[in-house]
Chain A
Amino acid sequence: MTDAAAQTARMSPADTAQNDVTIAALRQVAPPRAPGPVSNALVFGWRAILKFRHVPEQLFDLVMTPLMFTLLFTFVFGGALAGSTGDYLQFFLPGILVQTVVFNSVYSGMGLSTDFQKGLFDRFRTLPIWSLAPFAGLMVGDVMRHLIAGGIILGIGLILGYRPEAGFVGTALAFALLLTIGFGMGWVFIVLGLLVRTPMTVMTLGFTILFPLTFASNILVDPATMPDWLRSFVAVNPVSLMTTALRGLMAGTATLTQVCLALIAPVVLTITLAPVVLWLYRRR
């Protein structure tokens, strides 16, 4: 008996009464021309946008924490810390933008861990696509997340009376720096996402790293009143360096040195962690 005959013999009556739709779907479909890496990465970016549409809570998570911080610190502590709530907001807003972006990177690590857990990356890895495209796509999604959350926080700041002295150009430059910071920090959590099996652990670990970094910085208060040992930490804390540069850019007072100092951490993280990510990914 030939294979085809064996196949037919084994089919039940229901099998042989195939409907046309099934036959159409099972027709031989050849692959189209192979897409380029950029096109692949954009598809992953598109996926990130879809996630916003299907999981709007995600946006809520992203914006709620910085929003609470802004309102709480401005109105509760602002007067005491800076003399007036208006002055405090002027000091605080650039810093909270840094905090927002840094916290946001945790979510992309969580997303990555979820994708691995669900086996989604196995599917991506059996596709004939550029093997780093899923990560590039993750970055595209991150950039959008940073822009959306940063934009919302800035918008609320403007409503509350914040005014960037450097105007539109300064703000645009500040956002460019923000995205670079987000990109650099992203690697840390991608590594975590690759190493840790559950998304919740990624989140816990992530915030364990981030809380001391963001609180022991110059985001919330001027470190002048801190004890010496803490002040020397705050002075070299990359988050402080980023915040200083961002404040400078939005106030129009930034120096090249400040911007370069702010870029150290993102650049070093990218150079050291990108190969680690590649290695972990290939190994998994």
Chain B
Amino acid sequence: MTDQQDLAIRARGLVRRFGDLTAVAGIDLDVRRGTIFAVLGPNGAGKTTLLRMLATLTAADAGTATVMGHDITTAPHKVRASIAMTGQFASLDEDLTGRDNLVMLARLWGFRSGAARARADELLAAFDLSAAARKQVKNYSGGMRRRLDIAASLIVTPGVLFLDEPTTGLDPSARQGVWHLIRQLAGAGVTILLTTQYLEEADQLAERIAVIDHGRKIAEGTSRELKAATGSGFLHVSLADPGQCDAAAALLMQHLGGSVQRSPEGAELSVLAGSATAANAALAALIEAGFDLTDFRMGAPSLDEVFFALTGGPDRAKDGKRNTTEAMT
């Protein structure tokens, strides 16, 4: 489906050890150009290490990878020329102003001082930081830092932008701001590889998601595919005549088993469907039996349910839950 030319990142069997600990234990990754790809996993799963290897900051102990067609081991300089990385913690000079940080980086890229200042001002305006341009970064809020840090990655448009937990520690409105920005960047054609602990974030942003745990990839797909892998979820059916509810519920139960739940008003029935095919058969049976349906839909399982199903263990599930709650507050 994807030929090599089409890939921004292609990794095979990447491994990184720290002493006895194998932080990344053989990961394959194919990221198509122009897409947002999320690496989802709990704390300590190996997300940062994986990103750092792809960004040439950490050497791989085994495996190979190309980024924008350049090998990370044999052509790291070429990789660096086509990527930008925004780390988990803002990589800025706290003593300098926001503007000076950007001017410095622009000059390191080779812009002459006038052009460097112009680019810095353009980015500051775009990231809503003009008012704070001449303040020292140490006085910035978390959201402002994050925006400046991302702006610092865009001095030259990167082929691939690595974002390590771009919204961890941000309040909900700052998080929305960063999401908005990531979507715009992807819209502008930048390939984005981001890591996250938030299931919702991966679901919202990414076309494809790789779930990693203990340094291994345990699942990959679109969020829809991941959800499908755990079962189709609930079939919801609305009836034109609430009086027919009992009969319809009996029929559904006969086809799908389990228990049928009714909405408080009584016109909607919900039942867990093992597969989309089973749900389809149940619907056909309802229509054949002459029930008048005003609406029906499949409610997919949440990505949380998928993640817990994949990583197993109720302890893990609790961890994940806590993360999502934090994300929401």
Contacts and interface: CB of A to CB of B under 8 A. Distances in A.
A11 B156 CA distance: 25
Interface in A103-158: 115, 118-129, 133
B67 to A, nearest CB: 11
A101 to B, nearest CB: 22
A160 to B, nearest CB: 33
Interface stretch (B14-22, B182-190, B241-249, B293-301): B182-190
Nearest to A121: B91
A51 B104 contact: no
Give the secondary structure class of B's interface. Answer: mixed
A32 to B, nearest CB: 4
Given A7-B183, A25-B125, A122-B57, A50 B154 contact: no
Given A26-B184, A51-B96, A119-B91, A128 B105 contact: no
Chain B: number of interface residues, binned into ranges: 35 or more
A25 B123 contact: yes
B155 interface: yes
A242 B92 CA distance: 38
Contacts of A124: 108
Contacts of A128: 77-78, 80-81
Interface stretch (B109-117, B212-220, B250-258): B109-117
Interface in B85-113: 85, 87, 89-97, 100, 104-105, 107-112
Interface in A181-232: none
B108 A118 contact: no
Interface stretch (A13-21, A72-80, A85-93, A261-269): A13-21
A124 B108 CA distance: 9
A233 interface: no
B89 A25 contact: no
A25 B80 contact: no
B309 interface: no
Interface stretch (A39-47, A59-67, A163-171, A248-256): A39-47
Give the secondary structure class of A's interface. Answer: helix
Contacts of B178: none
Contacts of A30: 156-157
Given A7-B183, A50-B100, A126 B127 contact: no
B61 interface: no
B152 A26 contact: no
B28 interface: no
A21 B112 CA distance: 22
Given A34-B110, A123-B105, A123-B152, A55 B95 contact: yes
16 contacts: A28-B188, A32-B109, A35-B108, A35-B110, A46-B107, A47-B93, A47-B104, A50-B96, A54-B136, A55-B95, A118-B92, A118-B93, A122-B87, A123-B87, A123-B91, A125-B56
